[in-house]
Structure 1
Amino acid sequence: MRISRTLTPEDRAGNLYFDVPFELGRCESLEVLLDYDRSRAVIDLGCMGPDGWRGWSGGAKKRFVISRTAASTGYCSGELEAGVWKVVLGLHQIPAEGVTVELTINTPATGGVEAEPSAPSPVSTVPASRRRNLPAAAGMRWLAGDCHAHSLHSDGSLSLRQLAGEAARNGLDFLAVTDHNTVSHYPHLQGVGHEYGIALLPGQEVTTVRGHANAYGRIDWVDFRCHPDAWLDQVEGEGGFLSINHPVAADCSWQWQLSRKPSHAEIMHETWLPNRRDTSIWAWLSAWGEPVIPLGGGDFHRLEDGHPTGLPTTWVQSAEPTEEGLLAALKTGPTALSMGIDAPLLLRVDGELLALDAEGTILVDFEGRRQLIRDSYAAIDTQGAGPYRLETSDRRILALTT
């Protein structure tokens, strides 16, 4: 089946998501190919079956395959129910003169699912929680991770095994895999994480042109085409938690109005790395007006970007590095953020604020009070309000906690 559509700015003004329906009988496999002039437009690709969402690859793919037993990364395998299916096109960028889109739909598929790249062998590493002897509450330890990463299941360049190997080599205890608008990676996380000795946490980055949010936990797919109020209700109703991603980040900044606010926000993000002096996030925190549990996310996509997993680092107290324990700890806090697993730290332990390996830095509270940290282990007499941050003498931010 071949379908041709000319999409215009008027289509985009009417709805950012354009459905192309087609009838599917009983079959073993389905293949969809998307073709348009990529020098003039940016169009995302997804699919919905009669019984629900089957996957999303955004602008990363121009072809996908779904069969009963396998599917392209970003898409969910399973029974191909008869009825009306839809190719979902995200109209991210449409030129003034419009663009012609050609869809080819093959049943059965003319080819198979893409082969997974060769994965690295597991290596013996010492995770951050064992490398640093950090004070913690009784029966607990501080675990280090990254709350934002992408794989081939969306627009990342690494397979899940490659991503797990990279994060383990960097000394992380956990990594949240937050592929865009899909849950196709969920079934593989525990097995791959066990293989590489790292906890891979389930997440999905709910992605729109007005802002992104990470939904954490083994929850159902979140419909990014709905208002974020619905995201929050669903995620919390299913026992997960929602975090506003990179709220101050150029055209990916948060622009939605919410009837109530999530408990979490990605306060440290890779866009902060170049100089770490940008305090616009503090203005955002002030405007937010409610306490927030801070998370750090490297937003890893590919090695050549130069932003490794674990930069920045999110620390959380848990008895063991299990998916259940880590998600529960991240959900309730407290958390601590640092610029790497060996960097200076601010930790909350039994109600006390501690600055660790931070001699010569400056502690700044939310009201602007400042004090010099003179020792490698310092208990802080907090008079002003949090969140608190550690800075260098030239105002480069090193660590943060509430």
Structure 2
Amino acid sequence: MTRIVHDLRLGLEDRLEQELRTLPFEVQGGDPSLEVTLEYDRTAAVVDLGCSGPDGWRGWSGGARDRVVVGADAATPGYLPGPLEPGEWSVQLGLYRLPVEPVPVRVTVETPATSPVPPEPEVVPAPSTPRASDRRLPAPEGLTWFAGDFHAHSTHSDGEQSLGELAGLAVRNGLDFLAVTEHNTVSHHPLLPGIGAAHDLTLLPGQEVTTPRGHANAFGDIGWVDFREPPDRWVRDVAARGGLLSINHPLQGEWAWQHPLTEPPDALELAHVSWFAHPTATAPWALLARWRPGVTLLGGSDYHNPSHGYLPGTPATWVLAEDRSVEALLDAARAGRTAVTRLTAPDAPALVRLGEDLAALDADGAVLGDVEGRARLLHGDRVVLPAHRAGTGPYRLETPTGEILAICT
């Protein structure tokens, strides 16, 4: 057995100098597993945890865990199992929040691991539930509006529900699909098809590329995206691999987007659950004036745990696709065929494209606005506006007091 201990003292100056610290260690041939333990005063600081091996990235748990195990056949959620290749490995510490006065931080690496990896909970299929797509929003022949959520977390990062439990909550809220977007890891990707099939729910592979200066969701089974590279590299790599990249909650407090970009990606999480804290906020619409034309607008609940008081699909993103396979949904999203509603209820106000026209549904008494500030009061539960009268998209539905109800490109 090998035991390596790193005793550090880390404070704000260390974080300002270098946000990510690398602690190397050696793995010998034949080691079946390793265990990393992180100890520090969690009331005084937040230190993220990750691990890398000679053949690449093995996983990230951020500030959610203080102990991880990586073995040949099993690993802590957020980390990839597999044989431990001999050579230089490293513990990766993200210095997310540190006080001015340095605090003691201890990292212990043991091979082999002394703690077992708890098995993934058994997947219990969710009861059959009507799906939002049963509403049959008006669509061209051969296409259907499917409802889902492009931002959610499980125990594979900092969520509290297992993947199976998370999928069950999505079904409970009537979703047709759910993107699982764990922070800086793809350990969940191999598990999604089986869990999705058990729940009759499409689970989109995603990852939230996470840094202290902004987050972006990369969709598609495209391999791990290196958050340590500049964001312009994320944009190029995701596009080259056939994925879709979206800037997340671009104006949300300390998680707002601060990275410079030569060319913004094709998608933007304009609709985020934080709308409910400030439902009349207009700042995101000003952002669109600086974005590329034809941006794909997405919505995300950023679901982590039930204590927040909402389910996945709050808000809901609707995708106009041929079917609800992963490929069809992502192709439709890349093409910009999306709309967002505040809720998934069958009578929730909705705004969708109907060919070149614009259709407002169950929105009697709502206000339709466009990106240039023009607005009109709607009368009737189904209002179809020809393209020449609709104004300039993207569009939004609001209550008379300015609460956002739906958006559409």
CA distance in 2, matches of 1:270, 1:15: 32
Query: Which residue identity lines up with residue 395 of structure 1 in the other structure?
Result: G
Q: Deviations over 1:328-387 (max 9, x none)?
A: 111212210001112111111222211111111111111121112111111113352111
Q: Deviations over 1:36-59 (max 9, x none)?
A: 111211100000001100000000
CA distance in 2, matches of 1:383, 1:354: 10
What is aligned with 1:365? 370
**Contact 2:27–2:89, Cα closer than 8 Å, also in 1:** yes
Does 2:372 align with 1:374? no
**Gapped regions of structure 2 (runs ≥ 5):** none
Q: Deviations over 1:124-147 (max 9, x none)?
A: 1111111x1211111111000000
What is aligned with 2:97? 93
What is aligned with 1:47? 51
Query: Which residue identity lines up with residue 57 of structure 1 in the other structure?
Result: S
CA distance in 2, matches of 1:385, 1:238: 32
**Contact 2:179–2:206, Cα closer than 8 Å, also in 1:** yes
Range 302-311 or range 382-391, more displaced = 382-391
Per-residue deviation, 1:118: 5.7
Match of 1:280 among 279, 283, 289: 283
Does 2:403 align with 1:396? yes
TM-score scaled by length of structure 1: 0.97
Q: What is the count of residue pairs matched by the alignment? A: 401
**Contact 2:358–2:390, Cα closer than 8 Å, also in 1:** no
Q: SS in structure 1 opposite 2:365?
A: coil
What is aligned with 1:205? 208
Matches within 5 A, 1:1-400: 1=3, 2-26=5-29, 27-117=31-121, 119-130=123-134, 132-288=135-291, 290-342=293-345, 343-381=348-386, 382-400=389-407
Query: Which residue identity lines up with residue 329 of structure 2 in the other structure?
Result: L
Query: Which residue identity lines up with residue 87 of structure 1 in the other structure?
Result: V
Q: Deviations over 1:189-212 (max 9, x none)?
A: 011000001000000000111111
Query: Which residue identity lines up with residue 78 of structure 2 in the other structure?
Result: G
Q: SS in structure 1 opposite 2:259?
A: coil
CA RMSD of aligned residues (A): 1.2
Q: SS in structure 2 opposite 1:246?
A: coil
Per-residue deviation, 1:32: 0.7
Per-residue deviation, 1:10: 3.0
CA distance in 2, matches of 1:337, 1:159: 26
Query: Which residue identity lines up with residue 33 of structure 1 in the other structure?
Result: T
Per-residue deviation, 1:237: 0.4
CA distance in 2, matches of 1:369, 1:228: 34
Query: Which residue identity lines up with residue 185 of structure 2 in the other structure?
Result: T
Query: Which residue identity lines up with residue 205 of structure 1 in the other structure?
Result: E
**Gapped regions of structure 1 (runs ≥ 5):** none
Q: SS in structure 2 opposite 1:236?
A: helix
Query: Which residue identity lines up with residue 61 of structure 2 in the other structure?
Result: S
Q: SS in structure 1 opposite 2:290?
A: helix
Range 180-189 or range 1-10, more displaced = 1-10
TM-score scaled by length of structure 2: 0.96
Query: Which residue identity lines up with residue 347 of structure 1 in the other structure?
Result: V
Per-residue deviation, 1:283: 1.5
CA distance in 2, matches of 1:178, 1:189: 11
**Contact 2:398–2:406, Cα closer than 8 Å, also in 1:** yes
Query: Which residue identity lines up with residue 70 of structure 1 in the other structure?
Result: A
CA distance in 2, matches of 1:383, 1:297: 26
Query: Which residue identity lines up with residue 379 of structure 1 in the other structure?
Result: V
Q: Deviations over 1:272-301 (max 9, x none)?
A: 113410011112212335432100000000
Structure 1 vs Structure 2: percent identity of aligned residues? 50
CA distance in 1, matches of 2:274, 2:340: 15
Range 99-108 or range 221-230, more displaced = 99-108
CA distance in 2, matches of 1:233, 1:327: 17
CA distance in 2, matches of 1:126, 1:358: 22
Q: Deviations over 1:218-240 (max 9, x none)?
A: 11111111110011111000000
Per-residue deviation, 1:120: 4.2
Query: Which residue identity lines up with residue 367 of structure 1 in the other structure?
Result: E
Per-residue deviation, 1:119: 4.8
CA distance in 1, matches of 2:166, 2:52: 28
Per-residue deviation, 1:307: 2.2
Per-residue deviation, 1:105: 1.3
CA distance in 1, matches of 2:335, 2:292: 19
Query: Which residue identity lines up with residue 72 of structure 1 in the other structure?
Result: T
Q: Structure 1 residues 103, 275: closer, same or farther in 2, change over 3 A? A: closer
Query: Which residue identity lines up with residue 245 of structure 1 in the other structure?
Result: N
Q: SS in structure 1 opposite 2:9?
A: strand
